[in-house]
């Protein structure tokens, strides 16, 4: 699994902080010059793959749909606090939609269940395409994309029209990596197919799959025979 041996968590959930640190060092990234985009940022700190980089000076766009209400968990208020103390951070309280209206409805209903628990029955957040959000933030190119929205992550990536250097995206790791074709749950192989189509190669699986744009692969120490290999899959997830 190669990069998995560098796992550690400061804010991340599955060792991503350590893996990202190693890969970014090999890519010669200067952390305080990076621009990050996080789709599904939650409160900006809990289980974050980016907070460690933000602490080191990276610029970030943090996107999370959340009702700011005294009766509900104030995750977006916590997210806003990061923006208030750091001029390099911009937050967006919106639901990222895709062209598939049926899928949007399913994902929106799932998101809305959390607010129903708070007694909110008619929550209706702003809905935008990721490309439109980044246009509003005046982002024409950037370095790292993280997508963790527990639903249609890969469709958001597929419709995105920019090509960051690194993409971190969640898959359903409880599915055997060889399985393909379930439109609701992207397996390792489903994700890999999309990544290759978009010009990326997978270099790590740790619950998330970590992709590096093909023009940067020569900077990495990972053996060529492991790149895009099913042997990257961490079987402890099964």
pLDDT (0 to 100) of residue 116 = 59
Is residue 118 within 8 Å of residue 72, measured between CB atoms?
A: yes
List Cα–Cα distances, 155 to 103, 186, 218, in angstroms. Answer: 9, 10, 28
Q: Is residue 151 part of a domain?
A: yes
Give me the helices (H) in the chain, please: 16-26, 51-55, 75-85, 101-116, 130-136, 153-159, 188-197
pLDDT (0 to 100) of residue 72 = 64
pLDDT (0 to 100) of residue 125 = 74
Q: Is residue 101 part of a domain?
A: no
Q: What b/e sequence results for 203-233 when a residue is b if at least 16 CB atoms lie within 10 Å of its CB, and e otherwise? A: bbbbbbbbbbbeebeeebebeeeebbbeebb
Q: Do the bridges between strand 208-213 and strand 166-170 make them parallel or antiparallel, or are there none, so unpaired?
A: antiparallel
Q: Which residues contact 156 (CB under 8 A, 6 or more apart)?
A: 39, 96, 98, 130, 147, 149
What range defines the domain where residue 6 resides? 2-90+106-237
Tokens for 100, please give them. Answer: 């598939």
Q: Is residue 171 part of a domain?
A: yes
Q: Is residue 210 part of a domain?
A: yes
CATH classification of the domain holding 153? 3.40.50
- Quote the number of domains for the chain: 1
pLDDT (0 to 100) of residue 101 = 83
Question: In tens digits, what is the pLDDT along the chain, a chain of 238 residues?
Answer: 899 999 999 999 999 999 999 999 999 999 999 999 999 999 999 999 999 999 999 999 999 988 766 656 678 889 999 999 999 999 999 889 998 887 777 777 777 676 656 666 566 777 899 999 999 999 999 999 999 988 889 999 999 999 999 999 999 999 999 999 886 789 999 999 999 999 999 999 999 999 999 999 999 999 999 999 999 999 999 9
Q: Is residue 211 part of a domain?
A: yes
Sign of CA dihedral 69, 96, 78, 148: positive
Q: Is residue 99 part of a domain?
A: no
pLDDT (0 to 100) of residue 118 = 65
Residue entry with tokens 């029955």? 121
Rounded Cα distance, 197 and 173, in Å: 21
Q: Is residue 97 part of a domain?
A: no
Residue 103 C-alpha from the chain's centroid = 18
Residue entry with tokens 């799959």? 209
pLDDT (0 to 100) of residue 73 = 66
pLDDT (0 to 100) of residue 113 = 72
Q: Is residue 139 part of a domain?
A: yes
Pick the closest to residue 194 from 153, 234, 133 (CA basis).
153
């Amino acid at each position: 699994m190669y990069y998995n041996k560098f796992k550690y968590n400061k804010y991340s959930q599955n060792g991503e902080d350590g893996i990202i640190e190693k890969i970014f060092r090999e890519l010669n990234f200067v952390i305080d010059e990076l621009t990050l985009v996080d789709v599904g940022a939650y409160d900006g700190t809990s289980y974050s793959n980016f907070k460690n980089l933000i602490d080191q000076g990276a610029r970030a766009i943090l996107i999370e749909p959340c009702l700011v209400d005294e009766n509900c968990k104030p995750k977006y208020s916590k997210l806003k606090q990061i923006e208030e103390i750091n001029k390099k951070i911009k937050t967006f309280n919106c639901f990222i939609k895709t062209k598939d209206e049926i899928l949007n409805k399913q994902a929106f209903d799932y998101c809305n269940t959390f607010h129903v628990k708070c007694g909110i029955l008619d929550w209706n957040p702003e809905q935008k395409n990721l490309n439109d959000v980044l246009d509003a933030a005046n982002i024409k190119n950037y370095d790292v994309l993280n997508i963790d929205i527990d639903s249609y992550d890969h469709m958001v990536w597929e419709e995105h029209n920019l090509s960051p250097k690194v993409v971190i995206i969640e898959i359903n790791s409880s599915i055997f990596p060889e399985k393909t074709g379930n439109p609701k749950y992207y397996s390792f192989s489903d994700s890999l197919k999309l990544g290759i189509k978009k010009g990326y190669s997978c270099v790590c699986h740790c619950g998330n799959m970590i992709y590096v744009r093909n023009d940067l692969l020569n900077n990495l120490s990972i053996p060529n025979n492991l790149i895009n290999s099913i042997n990257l899959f961490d079987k402890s997830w099964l």
